[in-house]
Structure 1
Amino acid sequence: MKENREQTSKQSVSRRQFLVGAGLAGLGVAGAGIAGCAPASQSSGDAGAASAGTADSASLANNPLGANAAVNWTFLTPPEDIAEDQIKGTEDVDVLVVGCGFAGAIASVTAAEQGAKTLCIDKQDTWSGRGGHITAYGSKIVKQYAGEGWFQEADYSHVVRRLIEWATGRVKEPLMWQFAKKSGACMDWLVDLVADSGLHPTLWAGFYKGPDYTEEPITHFFYDDSTDFVYLDGVSTGLGMAVLIPAVIAEGEKLGVEYRYSTPCARLVRDGDGPVTGAIVGEEGNYTKINAKSVIIAAGDYLDDDEMRSRYQPFTWHADSRLYIPFGISTGDLHKQALWVGGAMQESEPHCATIHLESGAQSYNFLHVNKNGERFMNEDVNTQSKSCVKSYQPEGKAFTIYDANSLEKFAQSCNDGISGGISSDQQYRRYGVPFDMEVELKLREAKIEQGLLFQADTLDELAEKAGIDAEGLKATVARYNELAAKGNDDDFGKRPEILWPVDTPPFFAGQLVSTLLAASGGLRQDTACHVLDEENNAIEGLYVCGAAGGEYFSNDYPTICPGTNHGRCLTFGRIAGINAAGGDADKEIPDLEIPSGNMPEEDRINTVTPSKL
């Protein structure tokens, strides 16, 4: 059976490829020696692990993959079995969790709650995590804030349909509904779990509130009394995953979970087409075989593996930088190991990536220009879209342009519920707390010191400092001010209430830096969090949760629910933990009732009798 699986893996190279264009050229597969985007001129000869076979146009004429069918991906080929004499011991557990990030921490404590003897391993010397936003629908906190009059609770049926529309239907819709129904109860469980840890749960007030692009008020985060709520380049104190994951692990330890670090998983154990029965862990010459009734993959994504990144997410090579902590660990180890025992990656490709304007200057919703000084978009949109659009500008460069009065106007618009959003409003602003100008000015100074924000008394001087064409910038600013005075954006249709002139020095130019945060695509899964094979059959004993799981996103990351990546870690981590321990998550986690409403009367159009006069 092992031979058959190897043959299947090797055959899959020719029938399930994806790569933009005819080859690897321009994807920077070997990297550039820095955490960022390789030059567009990099040749396919730099690909390293992936190699192109020889094939002429005639042989590929009837192959829907075209020249991509000639690419060989080395990670799809299983390595040799680990010799028995390399295995120095065995252990028995009920549930083995591989990976100790947020998903692994949630899955392990959940399995232990079910009475399972649980071991959670990680190849690093401690747990890992970053950020802090967590999406959950209809939690007690959401209902509390809605009841207090802060907002009208979202129409979750509509939210799911918006997410499906964003993915153009290339997702597994039952997973979307599973999340919608279970995420609120999972958040309520988490709040109770860490209630004695000194952490405070709350909702983020900075979500985007525009009429065309709207984020939903369902983003949670946790903080302790030491925080100043400042967030800079992925780093904050006293809030987010930095305090939440240790609190969850502490609860796991009370329940008897063993967290074992510096312990890589080398190979999943499966006999033929039977169940997964454990894993071989450790390093060459000193392996241990862990016999387990169930294994949960919670090992994160694969963006530090250049070959996998090029295979599944070629667009990500456009990103300017990467921001995930710690660097270099997201190498897709468990994706590969699942594939080697018969698992399958999600069918929809390319996988979506989370790319935000995270590492550069705040984008706000001010005038955006490229290096030629040309305006190229309606700036009233989300950070993911801005990151992607700017990639197609000359040299991939873009800047946000504003003046001495702009920041005050933006702050007021956030307080008034007109503006907001990731990389614009403050990352951890709470309800009842106004936009903090003191904090924002400190962040402005930090970006100036980093060489990402430029200040000048004239547009000519600003252009010189930032490397923008001066004549182009002055012409664009003049046109923008003309539109602001008119009160209508004839060029890009931006809302007039946020169309502020750029006319009072000092002037500012903030460089926008598209930042790769996560690969939001992975292994094929069902609603019980089983890993599936190529025929969509569940592999008994093998589960997946968090960033390693797939089929929830496609093409592009939908920011309408900020914190969905972490929301999946929580919800599917809990579902996987219950099911892997022999429980029934569908019965044990309460469902949120999601009504489906009729179309509003004012939106209806009678096509027989005029009704809008």
Structure 2
Amino acid sequence: MKKDFYTAEHEDLSRRNFLRGSALAAAGLAVTGMAGCSSNPEEPLADAGINGNLPESWDVETDVVVVGLGAAGLSAAIAAKMSGAESVVALEAAPEEDAGGTTRVSGDMLMIPDDVDGAIAYQTELNGPYTVEPELMQAWADGVVGNYEWLTEDLDFVLGDATAARPEFPGITGGEHIKTYYVDGICGMSSLWIPLMEKSDELGVEVAYEARATELIYNYETKEVYGVRTEDGRTFKGRRGVVLACGGFSGNPDMLQDYMASMGCPKPFALGSPYNVGDGVRMAQQIGAQLWHMNSYAASSYNVRAISSDSPTSNIPYPVGIDYILVNGEGERFMYEETRSIQRHGKQKDRGVWPLIPIPSGSHLIMGGQCGANDIFGAITYMTWPVIMEKGYTTNQELIDAGIMFKADTIEELADKLGYPAEKLATTLKKYNDAIDAGEPDEFGRGTEVYASNLFNAAEGTDAIAGDEHGTESLAIEAFPLQKIEGPFYGTEIALGLLNTQGGAKRDGKSQVLDLSDNPIPRLFSAGEFGSIYAYMYNGGGNISEAVSTGRIAGQGAAALEPWDVA
């Protein structure tokens, strides 16, 4: 697969970062010339009597330590340097070729409202009963609205209008103020991450790759944070502060089961970085930080594994044709298959609420000969981990060879390969085909018109609201004739496609991490999806925009502090 986003210029950038990272590793990450770094690694700390888990000496000393290299981490590092921090080190858990978190493989869309009050009204309604303190909503709105000036004037980025989610939920108060953008007008393709990385490199931000942060170094009595320890034992001193921008836990199956089981989706598939394994959550718990929004997520509809038969890393399938059905773990259909088109980030309105769509564990996509003969991947070519990192399969035959998809001449044979009782899957298929032959209505209404509110008409570039400006339902799915499902048959497991998690350490309007009493933990900041403001629903591009704004605020806040080790 061609890596369209990769240019010679970015190849040079990658080479510079690689050489820089290699130099750091070769030197044991004791970076010569870094501000605050002792020329003698055996020199004692400025105050050896400070209580806590301080090391006898530090491997790296710097003004600000940033954990994470997505939009939040890069924004924090850039803002810290632009606010006077002489040195900033960003820790990236992944090797360089996989760096960038979920930002790098996302749609890179920025939701930037043009009015603070409108943004507050809109997001307050999207949060529904999951209330957020007014002062935090105010800070969020100020931050995301302020992104436009920071990106276009301070960083000199060019923002082009996006064609979706302007707003994602028209008809809601304040929605007319919701605008979305892409850097240089490019959807996905790392279009935001690449220029942020270039700006970071230009400003001299140091990056340590394969440096997974697992422990905060801090004063046990005051909780003041002094630095970070990585999984391999290296220590990074943050003289002014530490910013946790390490993403969520979409790559941690245990945490997903703990926090998503109540949502009916204990084992989703992930679209973003597999390096988002919840390290920030563990570090926050270690120091007594308050967690919030742990059950809030952004998702697609249903996904298919794309790398191996045991990896949850996935891609979004788009069957070509209508000779397919979705069946649950018991081999029975459970939904009108095409209604995925009216879902909003994995949620679908049902009796006045927006629950995560029900994709039961052990569900499968069952296709007939027409669908199965056409590759289910390929419609999404500008985002997701397998696409951007070029690590996923792209054809049905590749999926079959990898044991992710199965093909059979009979439905009974396919059932056996998928682990279903043969008679159960055969009965489900016969019921579906017989109803079509008899001209009977589908049990889930498939093939009938579907009307829904809060839709966006991408073809016309307008809100798909029939009649007046607000509140009227519009045609979402036109009526269509059903088609029988006949062999050869194809089947592959599906699960809810998780874009990212929203939960983490609660932070205040200054991006300071809060303890259980809502007091800021000294010198500890956070940014991005790790502790997001989004508690229920959110507008497309909201996570990326919040990552930029909270990263900017965190970096500025950390850089403004006096070093803790001043004699």
Q: For 1:60-85, what per-residue CA distance to the aligned partner results, in whole angstroms no more than 9, with x for missing partners?
A: xxxxxxxxxxxxxxxxxxxx954643
Distance in 2 separating the partners of 1:481 and 1:156: 51
Equivalent residue, structure 2, for 1:24: none
Is 1:374 matched with 2:371? Answer: no
Q: Which amino acid aligns with 2:61?
A: E
Is 1:164 matched with 2:127? Answer: yes
How far 1:355 moved relative to its partner?
A: 6.6
Conserved 8 A contact 1:97-1:118:
no
Equivalent residue, structure 2, for 1:133: 107
Is 1:298 matched with 2:259? Answer: no
1:462/1:282 Cα in 2 relative to 1: closer, same or farther (>3 Å)?
Answer: closer
Equivalent residue, structure 1, for 2:511: 529
Distance in 1 separating the partners of 2:437 and 2:67: 55
Is 1:397 matched with 2:360? Answer: no
Equivalent residue, structure 2, for 1:479: 435
Distance in 2 separating the partners of 1:357 and 1:90: 44
Equivalent residue, structure 1, for 2:89: 120
How far 1:405 moved relative to its partner?
A: 9.2
How far 1:532 moved relative to its partner?
A: 0.7
1:482/1:240 Cα in 2 relative to 1: closer, same or farther (>3 Å)?
Answer: farther
Equivalent residue, structure 1, for 2:552: 574
SS at match of 2:106: coil
Distance in 2 separating the partners of 1:187 and 1:222: 11
Q: For 1:562-613, what per-residue CA distance to the aligned partner results, in whole angstroms no more than 9, with x for missing partners?
A: 3433333222212222333339xxxxxxxxxxxxxxxxxxxxxxxxxxxxxx
Distance in 2 separating the partners of 1:513 and 1:107: 34
Equivalent residue, structure 2, for 1:240: 189
What is the aligned counterpart of 1:190 among 144, 147, 151? 151
Distance in 2 separating the partners of 1:262 and 1:371: 38
1:401/1:269 Cα in 2 relative to 1: closer, same or farther (>3 Å)?
Answer: same
CA RMSD of aligned residues (A): 5.1
Q: For 1:8-52, what per-residue CA distance to the aligned partner results, in whole angstroms no more than 9, with x for missing partners?
A: xxxxxxxxxxxxxxxxxxxxxxxxxxxxxxxxxxxxxxxxxxxxx
Q: Which amino acid aligns with 1:203?
A: A
Equivalent residue, structure 2, for 1:232: none
Is 1:259 matched with 2:207? Answer: yes
Conserved 8 A contact 2:325-2:333:
yes
How far 1:535 moved relative to its partner?
A: 1.1
Q: Which amino acid aligns with 1:129?
A: G
Distance in 2 separating the partners of 1:539 and 1:245: 29
What is the aligned counterpart of 2:539 among 558, 561, 583? 561
Q: For 1:124-162, what per-residue CA distance to the aligned partner results, in whole angstroms no more than 9, with x for missing partners?
A: 34333242224534468xx9xxxxxxxxxxx85664244
Is 1:91 matched with 2:61? Answer: yes
Is 1:344 matched with 2:290? Answer: yes
Equivalent residue, structure 1, for 2:18: none
Q: Percent identity?
A: 21
How far 1:542 moved relative to its partner?
A: 1.7
Conserved 8 A contact 1:543-1:580:
yes
Out of 481-490 and 564-573, give the one that drifted further.
481-490
Conserved 8 A contact 2:372-2:396:
no
Q: For 1:69-111, what per-residue CA distance to the aligned partner results, in whole angstroms no more than 9, with x for missing partners?
A: xxxxxxxxxxx954643x2567351x32222222101111122
Distance in 2 separating the partners of 1:193 and 1:507: 58
Distance in 1 separating the partners of 2:258 and 2:443: 47
Equivalent residue, structure 2, for 1:18: none
Q: How does 1:220-369 map to 2 (within 5 A)?
A: 220-222=181-183, 239-241=188-190, 244-265=192-213, 267-271=215-219, 274=222, 276-281=224-229, 287-288=235-236, 290-303=237-250, 308-309=255-256, 311-314=258-261, 318-319=266-267, 321-325=269-273, 327=274, 329-346=275-292, 350=295, 352=297, 354=299, 356-360=301-305, 362=317, 367-369=325-327
1:561/1:427 Cα in 2 relative to 1: closer, same or farther (>3 Å)?
Answer: farther
Distance in 1 separating the partners of 2:405 and 2:167: 23
Q: Which amino acid aligns with 1:357?
A: Y
Conserved 8 A contact 2:111-2:542:
no
Equivalent residue, structure 2, for 1:26: none
Q: For 1:160-186, what per-residue CA distance to the aligned partner results, in whole angstroms no more than 9, with x for missing partners?
A: 244212xx3255565455444532441
Conserved 8 A contact 2:68-2:101:
no
Which has more helix, going by share of residues? 1
Give the TM-score of the pair, scaled to structure 2.
0.60
Distance in 2 separating the partners of 1:211 and 1:261: 42
Equivalent residue, structure 2, for 1:111: 80
Question: How many pairs does the alignment contain?
Answer: 437
Conserved 8 A contact 2:224-2:521:
yes
How far 1:120 moved relative to its partner?
A: 2.6
Conserved 8 A contact 1:278-1:291:
yes
SS at match of 1:268: strand
SS at match of 2:504: coil
Distance in 2 separating the partners of 1:174 and 1:478: 59
Equivalent residue, structure 1, for 2:34: none
Conserved 8 A contact 1:265-1:279:
no
Distance in 1 separating the partners of 2:317 and 2:402: 13
Query: Which runs of no fewer than 5 residues in structure 1 stay unpaired?
Result: 1-79, 144-154, 230-238, 412-422, 430-441, 584-613
Conserved 8 A contact 1:275-1:541:
no
How far 1:522 moved relative to its partner?
A: 0.6
1:407/1:283 Cα in 2 relative to 1: closer, same or farther (>3 Å)?
Answer: closer
Equivalent residue, structure 2, for 1:203: 162
Distance in 1 separating the partners of 2:88 and 2:440: 61
Query: Which runs of no fewer than 5 residues in structure 2 stay unpaired?
Result: 1-50, 306-315, 349-354, 384-393, 452-476, 562-567
